Amino acid sequence: MGVKSMKIIRSPKEMAEFAKELKANSQKITLVPTMGALHEGHLSLVKKAKEEGGICVVSIFVNPTQFGPNEDFAKYPRQLESDFKACENEGADVVFAPSAEDIYAPDFSTYVNEETISANLCGKSRPKHFRGVTTVLTILFNIVKPDVAIFGEKDAQQVSVVKRMVRDLFMDTEIKTVPIYREESGLAMSSRNRYMDPLERKGAARIYKALCEGKRISDSGCTNVDRIKAAVINSVSNAKTRVIYVEIVDSETSLPISEVVPGKSRISMAVWYGQIRLIDNILI
């Protein structure tokens, strides 16, 4: 059974029934979970999903439970019609775009929480963020029943959290990743980049340059995490860029390490660039 033209599904019940039908016909399902405002980085995930074969489902859902009280949920970019067109142009088979009311009942009270990896890095300054991520992904996985789910490596800690959740809860979904998609300047593509004008985007490229400086020091043979972190912080900091964290972590688990293991380590960083929170990382 094939899907001849892209379907847009809003109802979780309809999506679940369609997924059940696909499974009954031995169709592989690959899910690309997104919050919309799609850019080339997202579309690289769709390309990867298409390579998997079977049916490519892109979910578009701005998930309220992963935003803190003073974060940008209300102004997070939403552009459903252009997202639908982008997905169709990329060959997606299904777009699942439920509303918050479709996903969360008024008295919703059940959460999924990974408690080790999510406590570090972004979890320190966004304490309930990953609880929202793991909860909504559990919901999406239950509805869509994907054999494979595709994530971008820009959100490396999220990938580590999701892999741990899938392992610990015996979820029947394989997690695959796609490398960070960067603008010409080196700035990691993000839906939040559209908050910046071209000059600000150019300035924000210093984040990637700082990571490259850390990698350069590591490549020269340095395994001292404090020295590498200090170099990255020194390189990125200026009047407009305030460091939230720079950490050197295990590339698989995203947990802090005391010494760099070449090829198995990652420099992870979050900064406030003006009023915009940006994250990035690089393998070392």
Catalytic positions, please?
Answer: 42
Inter-axis angle of helices 40-51 and 80-90, nearest 10: 40
Measured in whole angstroms, the distance separating CA 176 from the mean position of its chain's CA atoms is 12
Could you tell me if 283 and 228 are in contact, meaning their C-beta atoms sit under 8 angstroms apart? no
Contacts with 5 (C-beta within 8 Å, 6 or more apart), sequence order: none
Q: What's the chain look like in SS3?
A: CCCCCCEEECCHHHHHHHHHHHHHCCCCEEEEEECCCCCHHHHHHHHHHHHCCCEEEEEECCCHHHCCCCCCCCCCCCCHHHHHHHHHHHCCCEEECCCHHHHCCCCCCCCCCCCCHHHCCHHHHCCCHHHHHHHHHHHHHHHHCCCEEEEEHHHHHHHHHHHHHHHHCCCCCEEEEECCCECCCCCECCHHHHHCCHHHHHHHCHHHHHHHHHHHHHHCCCCEHHHHHHHHHHHHCECCEEEEEEEEEECCCCCECCECCCCCEEEEEEEEECCEEEEEEEEC
Residue 105, amino acid: A
